Structures are given as structure tokens and as C-alpha cells.
């Protein structure tokens, strides 16, 4: 049978594939290598910037006797970061005892009375208080919620059951869901919805954060190996 007698849909099957040119082959390999190297290089560049920034701020505050340059011919990268970690650990240990609590309370009273400083300090104090009060129970569940309109779904994190006046006004069947924005999950919306209207997902908090960070480009595999699938809450 000649090729000119074959149907059009079969001609594409029997035709040999076209060979890829050298330039196209090199371009594909270059793009693949760049995509692999990009997150690695970006990670090291950011870490180097942060370490150098901390070293430049912390090391000059140390007495010369404690600086590595005093005994060596070069500065030790990350030495300031180590000192900062040790200082924060020591500060946390001191702040947890009676004297430390008194000192922290005294500092709060003083800084909240300074006219200009209190505006900035109160913001960070509220953030600190949120983490301290919820240190044992951060977001633990990834869900999907109909937001901002019915029929469109957004990924969110369960903040907990409704409490306070919201519980009195809405009822006990509502839960708080934080719906972060993309690609900046530090901002978002707090939505109170019925637990029966929320769809629970099997993915972890880290996996949900990756979906938000990537704008939906990084999606975890499903079903995950060794994880039982949770039924949808409808």
C-alpha cells in the first residue's frame, strides 16, 4: 500500500519523527539546567545576604577580644549569626523566669508611653502576643472554602472554632478560616464559615503554603503515599 493512499490521520503515524536540530537541543538543555540551578543559587544568595547583614550589625557591637579578626587574618562568616542565636536563646531563658517577666512588663509599660515609639512598638507587641498565645496551636488544617463568591473556591487554613462575640452572634457551627493572598501569604482575609460548607484537604500546612507561594504552579501529588484520603465535608 502506498503512502498516498493512506488516510490523512494515518499519514502522521507512519511518518518518521523529525530530527531535532543542534541549536534546539542545546536550548532545551540550557533551560532545563537553568531551572534546576535557579532555586539553588537563589537560596544561597539570599542566605549569604542575610548572614552578611547580620554579621555587619552584630560583630561590630562585640568587644575586640571576642571578635575572630583579632586572632585570625580574616573574618569568620556567620559568626554574628551564631552570637545572635545564642543571645536570643539566653534572652528567652531569662524572660521565662519571674525576674525576666517583670523586666519584660516594665519594658512594655515604658515603651508604650513614649509618644512616637509606642506606635511602632505596639504593632510588634501585638504580633508577639499572638505567637505567644497561640504557640501550641498554629494553623493545623488546609481547607477549601467558597470565596469570594459562591461557586469559586480558595485555599485557606483553619484558625479554629468561632469564639467570643462571633460565637454568640453566629453559633457554634462556624469556624474561622484564614484565606491568604498569592504570592504573599502574610496578607489575606479572615472568613467565618459553617464547618459543613468547608472542604478539608489531605495536604499539610507546608504543602498548602507552597501552593499559595507558587500561585498554583506547585501542586502536591494526590493521593499522597501512605496518607488516607479524607472525605469531603459537604
Say if 221 falls within a structural domain. Answer: no
Contact 54, 75 (CB under 8 A): no
Say if 158 falls within a structural domain. Answer: yes
- Residues 21, 36: Cα–Cα separation, whole Å: 23
- Residues 84, 53: Cα–Cα separation, whole Å: 12
Residue 51 DSSP SS3: helix
Laid out side by side, the sheet with 188-194 consists of 188-194, 174-180, 153-161, 142-146, 199-200
DSSP β-bridge partners for residue 139? none
pLDDT at residue 233, rounded to an integer: 46
Q: How many domains does the chain have?
A: 1
Of 166, 175, 165, nearest to 196 by C-alpha is 175
pLDDT at residue 17, rounded to an integer: 58
Residue 199 DSSP SS3: strand
DSSP β-bridge partners for residue 145? 154
Evaluate if pTM is beyond 0.75. Answer: no
* Domain range for 192: 142-213
Say if 196 falls within a structural domain. Answer: yes
Say if 33 falls within a structural domain. Answer: no
Say if 149 falls within a structural domain. Answer: yes
Q: How many other C-beta atoms can be found within 10 angstroms of the C-beta atom of residue 7? A: 8
- Summarised one tens digit per residue, pLDDT across range 181-213 is 887 777 889 999 999 999 999 998 888 888 888
pLDDT at residue 199, rounded to an integer: 93
* Cell numbers given for 17: 519523527
Say if 156 falls within a structural domain. Answer: yes
Say if 157 falls within a structural domain. Answer: yes
pLDDT at residue 234, rounded to an integer: 45
Identify the segments of the chain with pLDDT beneath 50. Answer: 1, 3, 6, 10-11, 14, 135, 230-234
pLDDT at residue 201, rounded to an integer: 93
Contact 174, 159 (CB under 8 A): no
Where b means 16+ CB within 10 Å and e means fewer, 185-206 reads beebeebebebeebbebebeee
Say if 130 falls within a structural domain. Answer: no
pLDDT at residue 142, rounded to an integer: 92
- Residues 191, 193: Cα–Cα separation, whole Å: 6
Amino acid at each position: 500500500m502506498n503512502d498516498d493512499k493512506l488516510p490523512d490521520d494515518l499519514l502522521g503515524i507512519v511518518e518518521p519523527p523529525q530530527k531535532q536540530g543542534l541549536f534546539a537541543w542545546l536550548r532545551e538543555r540550557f533551560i532545563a539546567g537553568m531551572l534546576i540551578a535557579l532555586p539553588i543559587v537563589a537560596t544561597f544568595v539570599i542566605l549569604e545576604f542575610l548572614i552578611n547583614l547580620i554579621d555587619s550589625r552584630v560583630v561590630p557591637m562585640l568587644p575586640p577580644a571576642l571578635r575572630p579578626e583579632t586572632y585570625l587574618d580574616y573574618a569568620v562568616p556567620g559568626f554574628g549569626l551564631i552570637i545572635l542565636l545564642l543571645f536570643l536563646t539566653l534572652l528567652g531563658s531569662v524572660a521565662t523566669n519571674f525576674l525576666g517577666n517583670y523586666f519584660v512588663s516594665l519594658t512594655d509599660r515604658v515603651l508604650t508611653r513614649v509618644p512616637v515609639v509606642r506606635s511602632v512598638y505596639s504593632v510588634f507587641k501585638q504580633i508577639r502576643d499572638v505567637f505567644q498565645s497561640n504557640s501550641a496551636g498554629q494553623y493545623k488544617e488546609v481547607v477549601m472554602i467558597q470565596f469570594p463568591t459562591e461557586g469559586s473556591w480558595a485555599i485557606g487554613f483553619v484558625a479554629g472554632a468561632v469564639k467570643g462575640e462571633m460565637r454568640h452572634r453566629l453559633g457554634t457551627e462556624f469556624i474561622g478560616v484564614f484565606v491568604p493572598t498569592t504570592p504573599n501569604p502574610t496578607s489575606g482575609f479572615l472568613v467565618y464559615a459553617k464547618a459543613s460548607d468547608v472542604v478539608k484537604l489531605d495536604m499539610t500546612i507546608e504543602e498548602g503554603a507552597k501552593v499559595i507561594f507558587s500561585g498554583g504552579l506547585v501542586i502536591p501529588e494526590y493521593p499522597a503515599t501512605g496518607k488516607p484520603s479524607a472525605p469531603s465535608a459537604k
